[in-house]
């Protein structure tokens, strides 16, 4: 088992003579109640230990794992489907349908002269947008609970090499990702299973044609960042497989099959941010040389069409009210080679609105987040409240309300409103 190898490496690290290891972690218990269907859908205990170890030569090792026990088994019913989306090295270990262990991060980093390196399982976040995907595409995400948790919680760390080299006033970051892990969609029957994942009757669903060669199928990219006349600037390029597959249809002797297939694309883009008084401006743009979109509905998939995609985000943060942040973003996606019959519109617009307050001497945080699609008029409304009761104890309450047209990405879950309570203890 790969995870056992990881644990062994950790143990070897801790046992290294003369090296002091630092341990810490969090334990969280969370309960979630469905509001419309009355389903008590989640009762979860999770333990996330972390370890840092100073290595000779100024290098450093970091490891983080998670043990999770989830009693209700609604989000990933039965055994998990890691084999469909994750590389062999990034799969979880299942003790049972309700208990699992996962290596979340495991890397060594340090400097060789001015060059910074980080090798191992890690997360790499690009771009200036918050919670939206334009340039933040290096790591895939899990859709186990749709987009309701923070993006950082959903991000799947990948085995990768990241090298950062200063070049004049610029910092160049070269990434190489041999880990063929992609966006993890829930299984049919799961609470947040996508409508498009439900197999139509009479149609056979084939195993995904997933890239699996670490060298030939590796993603690679570069990010250049600098600080120019007060602006934070980044230029980005990534040659990668799209994290979400296109569904291909084949009909042989009257028997119809559907198969998810992954395709490569080049993504070029850049981001800008700057602060002006109480306002902070963020902008991000990306250009995908090719994206694939299926034609027709799932019942009548008639193939796919290809088009480049241009995506932009423009965001404004306002912090002129003491201890409050008001933030809004507009996301626009446009297909220059739009074909009639595609399952999406030529142009998709989404807006986000965030209101967050740090209250009572920063012991409590209240947050309201709205993500709204301007096309289907669906979206997600979220309220969250954190109360840091003691240094190491936090209470958390969350209300998640997807709403709107059932054809929309968000509206398909309009009947999945939920309320969660959690207690977190850090040590």
Partner 1 sequence: MKHSLWVLSLAAVLPFTASAQDASREAREIIEAVNARNDGAYVSRDATFELTDRRGITRVEKTTGYRKYFGDEKRTVIFYTEPSNVRGTGFLTWDYPDIDAEDDQWLYLPALGKVRRISASDRGDYFLGTDLTYEEIKKENKIEIDDYNFSLLGESEVDGAAVVEIEAIPVNETVARELGYSRIVLSIDPQIQMSRHSEYWDVNGNRLKTIHNGNIEQIDGIWTVTEVNVINHKTDHRTRLLFENIDYETEVPDRTFNRQMLERGLR
Site residues, partner 1 (CB under 8 A): 24-26, 50, 60, 109-110, 114, 116, 118, 123, 125, 127-128, 130, 136, 150-153, 155, 164, 166, 171, 173, 225, 227, 230, 232, 273-275, 277-280, 282, 317, 319-320, 322-323, 358, 360-363, 388, 390-392, 394, 424, 426-427
CB 342 within 8 A of CB 301: no
Question: In terms of CB distance, is 233 or 256 closer to partner 1?
Answer: 233
Question: In terms of CB distance, is 201 or 427 closer to partner 1?
Answer: 427
- Min. distance of Cβ 161 from partner 1 in angstroms? 15
Question: In terms of CB distance, is 8 or 363 closer to partner 1?
Answer: 363
First to last CA, the chain: 29
- Min. distance of Cβ 145 from partner 1 in angstroms? 16
Question: In terms of CB distance, is 132 or 218 closer to partner 1?
Answer: 132
- Min. distance of Cβ 243 from partner 1 in angstroms? 16
Question: In terms of CB distance, is 165 or 196 closer to partner 1?
Answer: 165
CB 76 within 8 A of CB 86: no
CB 373 within 8 A of CB 401: no
How many Cβ atoms sit within 10 Å of the Cβ of residue 311?
23
- Min. distance of Cβ 284 from partner 1 in angstroms? 11
Which residues on adjacent β-strands are paired with residue 219?
177
- Min. distance of Cβ 91 from partner 1 in angstroms? 22
Question: In terms of CB distance, is 60 or 344 closer to partner 1?
Answer: 60
Residues 6+ apart with CB under 8 A from 333: 309, 310, 311, 347, 348, 349
Question: In terms of CB distance, is 95 or 227 closer to partner 1?
Answer: 227
Question: In terms of CB distance, is 193 or 285 closer to partner 1?
Answer: 285
Distance CA 115, CA 71 (A): 46
- Min. distance of Cβ 277 from partner 1 in angstroms? 5
- Min. distance of Cβ 51 from partner 1 in angstroms? 12
Question: In terms of CB distance, is 81 or 364 closer to partner 1?
Answer: 364
- Min. distance of Cβ 67 from partner 1 in angstroms? 16
CB 191 within 8 A of CB 41: yes
- Min. distance of Cβ 362 from partner 1 in angstroms? 3
- Min. distance of Cβ 392 from partner 1 in angstroms? 5
Closest CA to 205 of 183, 180, 184, 187: 187
Distance CA 271, CA 132 (A): 13
Question: In terms of CB distance, is 253 or 391 closer to partner 1?
Answer: 391
């Amino acid at each position: 088992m790969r995870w056992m190898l990881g644990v062994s490496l950790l143990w070897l690290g801790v046992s290294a003579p003369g090296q002091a290891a630092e341990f810490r972690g969090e334990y969280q218990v969370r309960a979630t109640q469905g509001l419309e269907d009355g389903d008590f859908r989640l009762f979860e205990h999770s333990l996330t230990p972390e370890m840092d170890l100073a290595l000779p030569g100024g290098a450093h090792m970091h490891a983080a794992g998670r043990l999770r026990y989830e009693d209700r088994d609604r989000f990933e019913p039965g055994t998990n489907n890691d084999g469909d989306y994750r590389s062999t090295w990034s799969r979880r270990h299942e003790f049972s349908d309700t208990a699992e262990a996962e290596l979340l991060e495991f890397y060594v980093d340090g400097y060789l002269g001015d060059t910074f390196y980080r090798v191992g399982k890690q997360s790499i976040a690009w771009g200036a947008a918050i919670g939206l995907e334009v340039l933040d595409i290096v790591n895939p995400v899990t859709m186990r609970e749709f987009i309701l948790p923070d993006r950082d919680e959903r991000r799947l760390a990948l085995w990768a090499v990241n090298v950062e080299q200063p070049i004049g006033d610029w910092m160049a970051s070269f990434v190489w990702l041999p880990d063929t892990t992609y966006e993890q969609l829930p299984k049919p029957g799961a609470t947040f299973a996508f409508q498009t994942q439900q197999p139509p009757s009479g149609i056979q669903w084939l195993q995904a044609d997933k890239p699996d060669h670490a060298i030939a199928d590796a993603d690679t990219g570069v990010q250049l960042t600098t600080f120019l006349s007060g602006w934070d600037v980044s230029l980005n390029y990534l040659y990668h497989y799209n994290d979400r597959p296109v569904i291909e249809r084949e009909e042989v002797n009257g028997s119809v099959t559907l198969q998810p297939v992954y395709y490569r694309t080049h993504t070029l883009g850049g981001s800008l941010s700057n602060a002006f008084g109480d306002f902070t401006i963020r902008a991000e743009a990306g250009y995908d040389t090719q994206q694939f979109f299926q034609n027709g509905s799932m019942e009548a998939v008639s193939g796919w069409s290809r088009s480049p995609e241009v995506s932009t985000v423009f965001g404004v943060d306002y912090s002129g009210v003491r201890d409050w942040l008001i933030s809004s973003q507009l996301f626009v996606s446009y297909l220059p080679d739009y074909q009639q019959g595609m399952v999406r519109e030529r142009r998709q617009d989404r807006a986000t609105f965030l209101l967050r307050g740090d209250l009572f001497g920063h012991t409590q945080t209240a947050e309201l987040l709205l993500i709204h699609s301007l096309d289907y008029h669906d979206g997600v409304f979220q309220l969250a409240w954190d109360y840091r009761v003691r240094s190491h104890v936090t209470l958390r309450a969350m209300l998640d309300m997807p709403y709107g047209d059932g054809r929309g990405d968000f509206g398909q879950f309009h009947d999945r409103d939920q309320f969660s309570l959690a207690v977190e203890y850090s040590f």
